[in-house]
Amino acid sequence: MIRLWQGGLGAAAGLAAMLASACENLPEMSLPALGPPPICADAGLRVETSFPAAGRHDCAIAPGGAIVVSVDHEPAVTEGINPSPWYAFKLNSDTPREATITLDYTDYTHRYAPWIKRGGTAWQKLPEASLALNERKTRATIKMPLSQGETYIAAQPISPAGDNTGWTRNALSGRGFTETKYGASREGRDLVGFVGGGGIEVIVALTRQHPPETTGQEAYRGFVERLMKRDDARANAFRARHRMILAPMPNPDGVDGGNWRLNSGGVDLNRDWGQFTQPETKALSDWIVAQAGDRRVVAMMDFHSTDRTVIYAPPLESPSPTIGFLPQLKQAFDTRLKSPPEWSYSHNPAGGTSKGWALEALKAPGITVELWDQISLEDARALGAAAADAMIDYFAR
């Protein structure tokens, strides 16, 4: 099918060039619009997945126009944990109509409530009444009005790999940060990081090791924004003292490939800190160590998403000179957030998480910040901002 498409493009481009040269003086030429082929098409409907972060789908359209989209996961080297059935596809309809779209998860179960986006409008969560699940929750059926033209349907607002790198670049613009390509992913995408601030102590922040976890990314954004924009003596002192190492997109292959959890090597990157079998984790950890140099790393924040908002932290008696930051962070959440997160304290040196590695290799509390999948974007940002304030208030002195 891919070969046919490329052949089609080549033939059409050749025809266009021939016509253009033959008709150079004509003011207007009209050729059929060219685009990648749909993964299925019938009854005036087309389902398309040729965009970054599209899900891994096949589909079929019944004669009456009912659409079935299978939701598939990426190849996994070991059996998966915490299934995150990501879907993202584009529907194209020749006419306005009532649409029935079934997501078929095979043996997995529905997790993400659908979001939709039409034309140039913002992402909207689909009303709950539009969705019905079968008893085993392995099929989710959406009934919704479809306007003529394109409608995106996705598990979360789509945020391809370039998105958070671009957001971070903008947020840090004019603040003396350096953008670095610290490595390349398995598929050859740039691994991009940012370093700025003072030079005595270090903080590290990252997100999107797991592709669908965009509410965690939103908390990362709230965290970075507050670190940059808070304007008082303590914030200035914090920025003057602390080198800030930021990794906004450590798994670009997984994100743009529409993966549920893994990188393009079929490995969970947040179980690979320690073994470092994958280029993404190897390059990121080497870069963090090199950028930290002899400086003391005071905390490492890794933003994720799951079925509730929860903080995974090392035990309070862990051998780190800055472990006392944890009670300060908890107090900031408890006093400022309307739904403060639960906390879970543990340390497993062989677990392969960034959190465990931070304590082992950097002697810093590694903190995995998990945001509820369904949290509002405002509440996710507020949690990130509270974390930044706690950090400034505890470490600026």
Tell me which stretch binds Zn ion (CB under 5 A): 15-23, 40-48, 298-306, 371-379: 298-306
Per-residue contact flags (x/-) with Zn ion for residues 106 to 135, judged by CB under 5 A:
------------------------------
Q: How far is CA 37 from CA 46, 117, 143, in A?
A: 9, 21, 25
Decide if 218 contacts 377 (C-beta within 8 A).
yes
325-336 vs 377-395: helix crossing angle, rounded to 10: 140
Select from 31, 69, 66 the least CA-distant residue to 48: 69
Both tokens of 82, joined, read 């915490």
Phi, psi (rounded to 5 degrees) for 246: -120, 130
Tell me which stretch binds Zn ion (CB under 5 A): 10-18, 169-177, 304-312, 324-332: 304-312
Smallest gap from Cβ 99 to Zn ion, in A, equals: 32
Closer residue to Zn ion, CB minimum distance, 210 or 381: 210
Smallest gap from Cβ 274 to Zn ion, in A, equals: 17
3-state secondary structure of 200: coil
Closer residue to Zn ion, CB minimum distance, 221 or 304: 304
Residue 304, interface with Zn ion (CB under 5 A)? Answer: yes
Smallest gap from Cβ 39 to Zn ion, in A, equals: 28
Name the amino acid, one letter, at 374: Q
Edge-first strand order for the sheet with 178-184 is: 178-184, 190-197, 242-247, 201-207, 296-306, 366-372, 310-313, 342-345
Tell me which stretch binds Zn ion (CB under 5 A): 44-52, 198-206, 213-221, 345-353: 213-221
377-395 vs 214-229: helix crossing angle, rounded to 10: 40
Handedness of CA 210, 216, 218, 222 (dihedral sign): negative
Closer residue to Zn ion, CB minimum distance, 195 or 255: 255
Smallest gap from Cβ 28 to Zn ion, in A, equals: 52
Smallest gap from Cβ 304 to Zn ion, in A, equals: 3
Among 56, 73, 210, 355, indicate the residue that binds Zn ion (CB under 5 A): 210
Distance CA 54, CA 155 (A): 10
Per-residue contact flags (x/-) with Zn ion for residues 264 to 283, judged by CB under 5 A:
--------------------
Distance CA 138, CA 83 (A): 12
Closer residue to Zn ion, CB minimum distance, 151 or 215: 215
Closer residue to Zn ion, CB minimum distance, 38 or 211: 211
Tell me which stretch binds Zn ion (CB under 5 A): 90-98, 205-213, 221-229, 252-260: 205-213
Residue 355, interface with Zn ion (CB under 5 A)? Answer: no
Closer residue to Zn ion, CB minimum distance, 163 or 389: 163
Smallest gap from Cβ 368 to Zn ion, in A, equals: 8
Longest dimension (CA), the chain: 79
Q: How many CA atoms lie within 13 A of 119 on its CB side?
A: 5
Smallest gap from Cβ 84 to Zn ion, in A, equals: 8
Select from 237, 247, 250, 249 the least CA-distant residue to 201: 237
Select from 214, 93, 103, 91 the least CA-distant residue to 153: 91
Residue 56, interface with Zn ion (CB under 5 A)? Answer: no
Closer residue to Zn ion, CB minimum distance, 93 or 305: 305
Tell me which stretch binds Zn ion (CB under 5 A): 67-75, 185-193, 209-217, 318-326: 209-217
Tell me which stretch binds Zn ion (CB under 5 A): 35-43, 85-93, 202-210, 338-346: 202-210
Closer residue to Zn ion, CB minimum distance, 213 or 379: 213
Residues at the site binding Zn ion, with contacts judged by CB under 5 A: 210, 213, 304
